[in-house]
Structure 1
Amino acid sequence: MRGAFLKYFVVATFAALAACSRAPAPEEPSETPAVEAPEDGLNLDVWLERMEVGSRELYSAREAVLSALELEDGDIVADIGAGTGLYTLMFAEAVGAHGRVYAEDIESLFLDLINQRAEDSGFDNITAVLGRENDVTLPENTVDLVFIADTYHYFEDRETVMKSVLKALKPGGSLVVVDYDLKPGEPRPEDKGHVRFGRAGVISEIEYVGFAFVEEKTVEGLEENYFLRFAKPAE
């Protein structure tokens, strides 16, 4: 499991902080200095401090992102690459006691953290799911909405992963991808070298798997990231 973690989430989440944080002016020090992952495992306090800070766009715009998802009471949601559980906890409140949130990650220590945060917050509608590098390991045809934020472009086998996402969704269910907007024709920032393509490439890949592109939504507070919605065709 440690090897999978290094390939997927530590690298993905650690590098993604640069992708989703507003770069400081050259003369100003970074608000989130580099921190090496400890050799003996995850320092969860460090990751909480790095992931849930105002300088990170997906944190500062979290309420607007939640609103744009248009969740309803009783919905079943999957938070893929849930990390520290920031959005997982928000989803749990939004879908209510009759809903369910699957917090999927391939690092068990993050899932332990999410379980603890859920217990501390009084949520009993969160299920932690240990995924694999090429499979989100969710039950088929059970999920109303899959949410993938700041994670898609780190999947090594995106086609296989997204096929497992497609299976997990109910017919007519939604997929929302929020990721860094690599604009065509603009120079690639040095800290965005891990972003391989922009929104057009993402749309093309996800459509190829079998999803239908629905819309790109403008979300207040998202300036460096796009918000794309897809749907699983109804059977």
Structure 2
Amino acid sequence: MTLQRFCLAVLAVICSVHSNDSNAQETVSDSINPGINDAFLDPELDVDAWLQRFEVESREVYAAKDQIVAAMKLKPGDQVADVGTGTGLFLEPFSDAVGKDGWIFAIDIAPKFIERVSRISELKRLGNVTPVLGLPDDICLPPNSITAAFVCDVYHHFEYPANSLKSIFDAMKPGGQLVVIDFERIEGKSREWTMGHVRAGKETFRKEIEAAGFVFREEVKLDGFDENYFLRFGRP
């Protein structure tokens, strides 16, 4: 068994334990946005269709991918949680950035996306990547296992933000960073899609993240961003 597969097996057990704890604390009715992730949980999810939506030049985070990776300031040996990895857009550049002594946990709640990133990591021989099937309220990583967490166009999909943030906080080593990229939601400026799909603006999301124990560090301005923003937080 490879180290990658061993890590995946261990994490599956951890996630199962977390799932039992989570069910005792919350019910579906506690979701702040019920149904927002139904499309991703569909067992017949069309990965190619999402690939055409996620990995196109018209998507800001795709066009600004290199800027985003540089702004993360990852170092060899870092352990990164790519929360909501989706089609695996950042998988290879993150893997290269942390090197053979680092590790990438590619986390998603969509089984079909996890299947895709598993294939990508095997085909590209990314020996420092572990795909993780997360829960709607838990990233399913053990305590003190990561130095960074990356949440790109995903935070507004958190149905249970307090619990999801707690799981990120608990998994992060002191001094680690949380980067959140999401959509500007400004009345009279943002697109109709954004106003209807994204539940709150930057200020609300920042307050929620700080309430979870993270400390706001900075907003990073990227040349390619008009609809998106990049916030960096730290774990004390």
With the length of structure 2 as denominator, give the TM-score of the two structures: 0.81
Task: Confirm or deny: 8 A CA contact 1:9 1:81 kept in the other structure.
Answer: no
Worse-matched range after superposition: 173-182 or 215-224: 215-224
Deviations 1:178-218 (A, max 9, x none): 000123x5355321112122111111111111111111011
SS of residue matched to 1:124:
coil
SS of residue matched to 2:173:
strand
Among residues 151, 155, 159, which one is paired with 1:156 in the alignment?
Answer: 159
Deviations 1:77-101 (A, max 9, x none): 0000001101122211111111100
For the aligned residue pairs, the C-alpha RMSD in angstroms reads 2.1
Among residues 191, 205, 208, which one is paired with 2:193 in the alignment?
Answer: 191
The amino acid that maps onto 2:83 is I
User: 1:120 offset after TM fit, Å?
Assistant: 1.2
Among residues 122, 131, 138, which one is paired with 1:119 in the alignment?
Answer: 122
Q: Equivalent residues in 2 for 1:50-129 (5 A)? A: 50-129=53-132
SS of residue matched to 1:86:
coil
Task: Confirm or deny: 8 A CA contact 1:171 1:232 kept in the other structure.
Answer: yes
Distance 1:79 1:188 in 2: 26
Distance 2:189 2:124 in 1: 44
What is the aligned length? 204
Among residues 204, 216, 219, which one is paired with 1:216 in the alignment?
Answer: 219
Show the counterpart of 2:175. Answer: 172
User: 1:220 offset after TM fit, Å?
Assistant: 2.1
Deviations 1:97-143 (A, max 9, x none): 11100000111111111011111112111001111011111111110
| Dislocated runs of 4+, deviation >6 Å | none
Percent identity, please.
41
Distance 2:95 2:154 in 1: 20
**What are the ranges of 5 or more consecutive residues in structure 2 without an aligned counterpart?**
1-27
Larger helix proportion, structure 1 or 2?
2
